[in-house]
Chain A
Amino acid sequence: MNLVKIDKNGFKQGIDRARKEYRLFGPAKGKEGHTIRHLDTDEYPDMTYNDSVLSAKSVLFPQTEKMLYTTFDESEPDHHIMKRAQADYSPQAVVGIKPFDAKALEILHLNFDNGDYRDPYFCDALEATTLVGIAVNSPGSCDFSTSTGTGPFDESALDILLVDTGDQYYAKIITDKGQSFAETCGFEEAADEKAATDEINALKEKAENAVTSEIQYENIAEKSIVELYNAPLWDDIAFSCINCGTCTFVCPTCWCFDIQDESKGNSCTRMRNWDTCMSPLFTLHASGHNPRGEKTSRVRQRFMHKLKYFLDKYDQGIMCVGCGRCVKQCPVNIDIREVCNKLNAYEEKA
C-alpha cells in the first residue's frame, strides 16, 4: 500500500484523465438529494455529500437489468433460445463511495458468488469496477457503521481510500486496481508517510468517536431461530409498517430480485428487477396461497434475514452495514437499531 497526496485543485483534472479509461460513477445531486449514478462527461463526483438517498448498489446491481433475450421469429436459426444480453463490462469506477457502502457490495458478492452459484451479471460488473472511497469525516446521526464491523474509515472493501484533510486528499492505494486508477488520474505525488498516517489516524479516531449510535448483536448467534421467530415482539414492530419497499430499495445490502419476461413483436427480453420482501407479491404462490400473507410475517422476514439467517449462514456478521438509510427513510420510522437490540436482548420466558 502506498500513500499519495492530491491537491484539490488538481482533482478534477485527474477525474478527467480517468474518464478516458473508465466509465465514472459517483455522488451527484438531484431534486431528490444525492444518488450514486453515472456521471456525464461534464459532471464531477460531489465529494462533499453527506448522505445519498440510494447507495452505490445500483451501479453493480441495477434496479432493472436485462439478463437474456431471444426472438420468436422462426426464420431465425436460434429462435426461442435465450442468449445473454449484451452489457458494457469495460472498466468503471465509483468515485466517492462511502466505505460502508463498499462493504455492502462485499456482502452482495457473498450472495452472488457463493460457491454453488455465480451470478455472472453482478460478478462481471464487480470485476470491472474500481472502488474509490471517501472517508466520512463527519458521520450522520443515523450512522451506526462502527458497530456492524465496518466504519467511516473502513478500507477493507475499497481499492482506494481518499481522506479529505481540507485543501487536499490523502489517497491510500489499497489494491492493484486502485494503483492503476491512481496512475491513470496522475495521482502519484508521494505523501510523507509518517505525517499522512498520523493525520489520517487522527481523523479516523475523531470520526469513529462521532458515531454515537450503535447496535448490539453478539447474543443473536447463540439464540435459536425458532426462539426469535416466535418471539412475541413482531406484531408491535410491524404494526405501523405500510409494506412499501423503501427500506429494501434504499438498503445497500438487500439483493432480492424478481425475474420478468417482456416481449414486443418478435423480440423478447428477460430482465430482473429489484424485489422487496415487504410486498405480499414477493411470496405469492401460483396456487393463491401466500406463506407470508400477513404483514407481521413479512416484517419479521426482513429483520430475521438481515440479523439472524445471514449471520448463521455465513458467520460473517449481520447483513447490515449501519448506513442508516432505512432508519431515515422509512415513512413510519421502523428502526433496525431498535429491532436488533430487542432481538439481542430477547430472553424466552420459561
Chain B
Amino acid sequence: MDKYTEKIRSIAGNLLKDGKVDKVIGYKQGSLPMAANPFAARTQEQAEELVFNSTCVMNLANYLTDTTEKIAVVAKGCDSRNIVNHIVENKIKRDQVYIIGVPCSGMVDKRKITSEFETDLTEFAENGDEITVKSLEKEKVIQKKDYLRDCCLTCIKPNPVIWDELAGEFVEEKKMENRFASVEKIENMNPDERYSYFTELTRTCIRCYGCRNACPLCYCPTCFVDESGPQWVGKGQNETDIQTFHFLRAFHCAGRCTDCGACEEACPMGIKVREFTKKLVKDSSELFDWETGLDLSKRPPLDTYSPEDPDDFIK
C-alpha cells in the first residue's frame, strides 16, 4: 500500500500548506511492527510521517467528535461510513471535514498473525498481497488474504462512500455467499446454549471499556455504566453487571454500527465483541433494509418512524 502512503502524504501536505485544514488525522507507524496509530499532522513536515498499510485498524471517525476545527481525515470504507453517521447525528458538519478516501483491501488480524509465532514479532513488511513477518525466533511469508480480520472478510463497502479526494483507485467489492454466517450459528443455538455462549464470551472482560472507547458511536457525554445517579450498573466484576454492559452497549449501536471492528481490536482480552453487534447489523438489514452510513439524507432506522415499520405494535 506504499502508493497510498505517498498519495496521502502529498494530499495532506498540500492541505496543510494551503491552510485548508487545521490538522490531518491519519496513521503513523508506531513503536511495534504491527501498530499503525492514529496521528494528527499539523504541519507539512508532520504530514511526511503519515502512513497507510494493512495495520491501520482503528476507526478515525472516533477522533472527529465535538470539535470546532477544520479537519482532514484519512478514511477507509468503514471510517467513511462512520463519518456519514457522525454527520447525520450532528457530531460534525460536512463542511468541517475534508475526507481523504482510501479504497481498502482489508486489514490484517494481529491475533491471527501472532498466533503463528512463539515469540514477539520484530518485523512486518508488506509487498502487495504478500507479507513478511519476523519474530524473535523465525521468519515467515504469509498471504494477506489468509489473515484478514473477520470484519474485513464480510465487509460490504471497502471503498469510501463519501470523500473529497481519493488516495487510490477503487477496489473491487467482494462477492460473499453469506456475510452473517457467524450470526446464524448463534441464532441456531437453543436459548440455554446461547446464554452460556454469551456468558463464556464475556467471562474474561476486565471492564477497561476499550471496546466502547474505540467505537465512534460511543460518544455519549456520560455512558450509562458511568452514571451514578441513578446507578444503572454495578461497578465490580459481577457477571451480570459485565453482561449488562455488553448487551446494552450493543443495543445502543443498533442501526448505527458499521462493523468496523475497532471494538475487537481494542480489547486486551481478545473478546469477540462483534458477536453482539453483528446480530444487530443483520437485524437492521433484514427488518429495515438498512446499511449504516451510506446516505447523508437518511436517519438511522431506530431514530425515525416509517409507516412501513415491520413491527405491528408501533402502528
Contacts and interface: CB of A to CB of B under 8 A. Distances in A.
A37 B160 CA distance: 45
Contacts of A334: 37
Interface in B131-156: 136
Given A138-B136, A333-B37, A249 B237 contact: no
A33 B270 contact: yes
B270 A32 contact: yes
Contacts of B173: none
B260 interface: no
A246 interface: yes
B40 interface: yes
Interface stretch (A83-91, A94-102, A153-161, A237-245): A237-245
Interface of B: 30-32, 35, 37-40, 58, 62-63, 118-122, 136, 204, 206-210, 212-214, 226, 234-238, 265-266, 268-271
Secondary structure dominating the interface of B: loop
Interface of A: 30-33, 50, 53-54, 62-64, 138, 140-142, 239-240, 242-246, 249-250, 258, 260, 262, 271, 273, 276, 279-281, 327-329, 331-335, 337-338
Given A32-B269, A63-B237, A239-B38, A335 B214 contact: no
Contacts of A280: 226
B151 to A, nearest CB: 15
B48 to A, nearest CB: 15
Nearest to B57: A331
Contact of A337 (B31, B210, B236, B238): B31
23 contacts: A30-B204, A32-B269, A33-B270, A50-B118, A63-B206, A138-B136, A239-B39, A239-B40, A240-B37, A242-B213, A242-B266, A245-B209, A249-B268, A250-B268, A262-B236, A327-B32, A328-B32, A329-B268, A331-B266, A332-B37, A333-B30, A333-B37, A338-B31
Given A32-B269, A244-B213, 17 more contacts: A32-B271, A53-B269, A63-B236, A64-B236, A239-B38, A240-B37, A240-B63, A245-B208, A245-B210, A246-B210, A262-B234, A279-B209, A328-B32, A329-B268, A332-B37, A333-B31, A337-B31
Contacts of A262: 234, 236
A328 B269 CA distance: 12
A33 B39 CA distance: 29
A340 B266 CA distance: 23
B275 to A, nearest CB: 13
B208 A64 contact: no
A26 B37 CA distance: 34
